[in-house]
Amino acid sequence: MFFQIIFILIVIKGIFAQNCQLNATFMDKKWIYATKPTANTWDVLHTDYIEDRKRLYLICNAMTNVRRIYCNRGIWQEETHDLTCPRRLKANVVKIENENSCSQLNGELYQVRYTLPDGNIISLYEVCYSTQNEQSLYSRHKAYGFNLAASTYVRPMFSRSNNVVSRERELSFKAENIYNTFVRLLGSKQTYVPNEKTLILDRGHLTNSQDFLTYDQMDETFKYVNVIPQFRGGNRSNWKRIENWVHNLPTKNTYAQVVTGSFGILSLPHSESNTLVPMYLMPNAKNPIPLWLYKVVKYKNQCYIFATLNNEFNTNSSISPPFCNSTACPMHLEFNPAPNSGVSYCCDYNSTAAKIGSHATLCNSVSRLTKFFDNIFG
Which residues are documented as binding site?
235
Q: What's the rounded Cα separation, in Å, for the pair 87 and 262?
A: 35
Q: Which residues contact 69 (CB under 8 A, 6 or more apart)?
A: 50, 55, 56, 57, 58, 76, 77, 78, 79
Amino acid letter for position 251? T
What are the CA-CA distances from residue 329 to residues 93, 96, 234, 335 (Å)?
A: 35, 35, 18, 9
Annotated binding site for Mg(2+): 235
Q: What's the rounded Cα separation, in Å, for the pair 20 and 325?
A: 45
Active site residue 205: yes
Q: What's the rounded Cα separation, in Å, for the pair 258 and 211?
A: 10
Question: Catalytic one among 141, 205, 247, 359?
Answer: 205
CA-based nearest residue to 31, from 117, 100, 89, 102: 89
Q: Report, as residue numbers or ranges, the catalytic residues.
A: 205
